Amino acid sequence: MNSSVSNQKFRCVCDILDRYEHKSSALIPILQAIQEVYGYLPEDIMTYISTALKISPSRIYGVATFFTHFTLTPKGLHVIKICDGTACHVNRSGEILEAVMKHLNLSDKKRTTDDGIFTLETVACLGACGLAPVIVVDEKAHGQMTPDTAVALIEAIRESDREQEATA
Amino acid sequence: MERFSITIDQCQVPYEGEKNLLEVIRKANIDLPTFCYHSEISVYGACRLCMVEVEGQGTVPACSTPVREGMVVHTNTKRLRKMRKIIIELMLASHNQSCTTCDTSNDCRLQAIAKQLGVREVRFKQKKEFAPVDTTSDAIVRDPSKCVLCGDCVRVCNEIQSVGVLDFADRGADARVVACYDKGMGEIECVNCGQCVKVCPVGALTIKSEIDRVFEAIDDTSKTVVVQIAPATRVAIGEQFGLDSGQITTGQMITALRMVGFDKVFDTAYGADVTVIEEGSEFLKRYRENRDLPQFTSCCPAWVKFAEQYCPDVLSLLSSCRSPQQMFGSLAKDQLSDTLGIPREDIVVVSVMPCTAKKFEARRPEFAVDGNPDVDFVLTTRELTRMIQEVGIDFSKLSPGSFDMPFGFNTGAGVIFGASGGVSEAVLRYAASALGENGDQTFTQLRGSEGTRVTEIEIGGATLRLAVVSGLANARRLIDRIRSGDAHYDLIEVMACPGGCVNGGGQPVSKTRDTVYRRSQGLYNNDRMLQLHVSDENPYLQKMYSDRLDETRAHHLLHTTYQNRKRVALDDVLLSDSDPENTVELNFCFGTSCYVRGAQKLYNNVLKAIEEEGIGEFCAIRASFCGERCKNGPVLTVNNEVIDHCTEEKAMDAIHKILARKKPAQRV
């Protein structure tokens, strides 16, 4: 673990709280900002937020589990979002989801690969229905996917990671 | 005067000041079923059972609909009846229907409403998989498979107690009630008051039973099993056997306990009398010396845990007295082992309490001698009821028995402990008598049902400022006012449950709104019927003090200390590491109290100083979330040295000292 990064992160938490003046009404933006720093919401940081905002840890946990945007476990290096909105669904996004799950050995409950490289999410609509079915990997959208092209895409990402590592 | 009225099912019903339509409908003697409506907590509108048709408004939930002049309301239409049945069917489909073995069987609202509405079949598929039962707490068992998501426990914990250990997590079909981070009830900040158990309409929150272990002790012939009964239980247990609330059933309880198999039956009111003397003299001493005021009472274990978690600054103001239950346990084991000639290990002390937090209190490690607890088992009123039923005793027909001596002699002062205000009144009677006045007085100013009562009383030429609070949210508000300097008192009585122990988490579920009031009246009536009303007149107690208790011994057996307590069990987090050979380990506490006292600023300043000096590589930095030294915050631990009230200067001094010691080694 790169240690000083972690220390910087905690200072970020302090800065975030200062920025929102420790107001309980700003809980959601605070949690969003913290998730940006850590990639997820760690329990101890939520407890600290609860102390700082005078909200019970249970309520914060409730908010954090209510919104699918928040995650309580560390996410993988790459986040794959498969759209299952109406347009994507009728264009067989379900089959893509199944293929990717099988390929990465994931399930409904297990969303991140053991090596911590990929996290799989489904979203209700990305607003790119013209390209259905759509997959977004790390902010980049890929349209008109099939189960085969989706698996190929994942393998391509793995390959490019390997190359980058080799050059580094 | 103009009269306002609305039409409910073709009848004119007058109204004045009712909070919502449901209250008016119930006033009209129509029993609309609800799960989530309780007049003392906020309106939530979750269960949808109180749906009514209002002309011009459509179908609305009565609990969250304000009353309007001239409303025309229908509560009994084909559509509504059908709707209510479907709601119950849906609830039953996702409810673990192991009713015959459920702790709440017969007290269950779901069972009762299903019967009331004539639900004969469930047409939906039964949910089969449920989350496991949580048994981590000493006091409360949570079974998610029974939960109907009414949110009563969530609101009572938040609004009445301001603790908030339970809340909803996830959403939609996945929504559930959980403690934070899905931890067990025993690993979080729950104060064990049991008010959630009282409001839970089903068996999702129940009392952790110790019945089997008590029977086991009774059946063990090598053990002498003694039992103490708390004041508040004697005016409530009768309700479970068809008697009126508030009816004094001390005699029947004693007979029943003997029949169940207890060897000796004693009274917690005796322990309460000892508490009055100890707490009263402690108060008079503090008052004369004008220090550590206001004195907070310490009888209520839920309040004590609350204070340990959230109010480290008032811990030194808490009376050091143990609660009556613990005073009794400590005295009983100490004295009975002498007088009966039985070793301590063979005496089993059982308490019958109106309270779930007493189970937690009995297990506190400080209340044990060489691992043998002063109180072995705690039964709540509801558990004792079940034991009496199991043995098959017809409680209401029993002829009354009398307590064993010496711990069975009580005064009225000890008995009124069970009602909010009772402890203060008992202490005042003692104080009056100790100051040469007549102690046999009633202080009606201290009685009542309001959550916070404040009064001034003159005794012995001094004016005492008193506050009596029940409900921990009221306590929190009062403490905030004291902290800000807006309020000044000499003595503050805090009880966690609204109305005091008579409304404890282990008591029978209140059937009507005046139940709690009638139980308190029962205790005050009991006080009037007894010959003695001031604790220090108790002859057995006087004898005990003169024969067995000198000051040191009394202090040893009857007093305790309090510890700061962290809210949630969590590990420290490592923020930055360093070269292990040359490490100065800094551990910043970020618990509630240290946070309030500026831990964040300290952390930022120290880190800045470390960066400026370029010694970051020697420092490993950790954050912990409560080191339980709250009143000395902010606290920083540098290697093994704990620095209380830490400042940037103190921190940097300590770091420099360690680095200076290490430098020569580095050169080698």
pLDDT above 70: residue B35: yes
Q: Which residue from A minimizes the CA distance to B617?
A: A4
| CATH entry 3.30.70.20 includes domain B87-207 | yes
Distances (CA, A) of B304 to A3, B229, B444, B453, B567: 40, 21, 26, 20, 13
CB contacts, 8 Å: A9 with chain B: 575
> What pLDDT shows up at residue B499?
92
**In terms of C-beta density within 10 A (0-12 exposed, 13-18 middle, 19 or more buried), how is residue B330 classed?**
buried
Place of tokens 């005699």: B251
CB contacts, 8 Å: A58 with chain B: 164-167, 178-180, 188
The CATH class of the B573-667 domain is alpha beta
> What pLDDT shows up at residue B274?
93
Whether residue A70 lies within 8 A of chain B, CB to CB, comes out as no
pLDDT above 80: residue B511: no
Mean pLDDT within B85-97: 94
The ipTM (two decimal places) reads 0.83
Mean pLDDT within A107-124: 88
CB contacts, 8 Å: B166 with chain A: 58
- Smallest Cβ–Cβ distance between B168 and the set A3, A10, A62 belongs to A62
Q: How far is it, in rounded angstroms, from Cα A74 to Cα B311?
A: 34
Whether residue A71 lies within 8 A of chain B, CB to CB, comes out as no
Per-chain mean pLDDT for chain B: 90
Between chain A and chain B, how many beta carbons pairs sit less than 8 Å apart? 96
Whether residue B179 lies within 8 A of chain A, CB to CB, comes out as yes
Axis-axis angle for helices A43-53, A57-66 (nearest 10) = 120
> What pLDDT shows up at residue A134?
94
More confident residue, B615 or A20: A20
Whether residue A15 lies within 8 A of chain B, CB to CB, comes out as no
Lowest pLDDT segment from A99-113, B73-87, B564-578, B595-609? B564-578
Asked if A56 lies within 8 A of B592 by C-beta distance, the reply is no
Asked if B576 lies within 8 A of A3 by C-beta distance, the reply is yes
CB contacts, 8 Å: A47 with chain B: 180, 567-568, 570, 625
- Smallest Cβ–Cβ distance between A65 and the set B163, B169, B571 belongs to B169
Q: Which of these CATH numbers, 3.10.20.740, 3.90.1300.10, 3.40.50.2300, 2.60.40.420, describes B5-76? A: 3.10.20.740
- Peptide bond preceding B634 in cis form (omega within 30 of 0): yes
pLDDT tens, position by position, B475-493: 999 999 998 889 899 999 9
Taken in order B258, B260, B264, B266, the sign of the CA dihedral is: negative
Q: How far is it, in rounded angstroms, from Cα B103 to Cα B101?
A: 7
Whether residue A11 lies within 8 A of chain B, CB to CB, comes out as yes
Mean pLDDT within A98-118: 90
pLDDT above 50: residue A3: no
Place of tokens 């010694």: B615
Domain chopping of chain B, boundaries: 5-76, 87-207, 211-394+409-558, 573-667
Domains annotated on chain A, with CATH? 3-66 (1.10.10), 78-167 (3.40.30.10)
- Smallest Cβ–Cβ distance between A47 and the set B182, B604, B625 belongs to B625
Place B315 in a pLDDT band, splitting at 50, 70 and 90.
Answer: confident
Shortest distance, CA A132 to any CA of chain B (angstroms): 27
- Smallest Cβ–Cβ distance between A62 and the set B169, B590, B623 belongs to B169
**Cβ pair B425, B443 in contact under 8 A:** yes
Asked if A6 lies within 8 A of B170 by C-beta distance, the reply is no
pLDDT tens, position by position, B156-211: 999 999 999 999 999 888 899 999 899 999 989 999 999 999 999 999 999 999 99
Per-chain mean pLDDT for chain A: 88
Asked if B591 lies within 8 A of A51 by C-beta distance, the reply is yes
Q: Which of these CATH numbers, 3.40.950.10, 3.30.230.70, 3.40.50.2300, 3.30.1010.10, describes B211-394+409-558? A: 3.40.950.10
Contacts of A4 (CB under 8 A, 6+ apart): B576, B616
Lowest pLDDT segment from B145-149, B206-210, B553-557? B553-557
pLDDT above 70: residue B472: yes
Q: Catalytic residues of B, which ones?
A: 279, 282, 299, 319, 358, 361, 366, 501
**Cβ pair B347, B333 in contact under 8 A:** yes
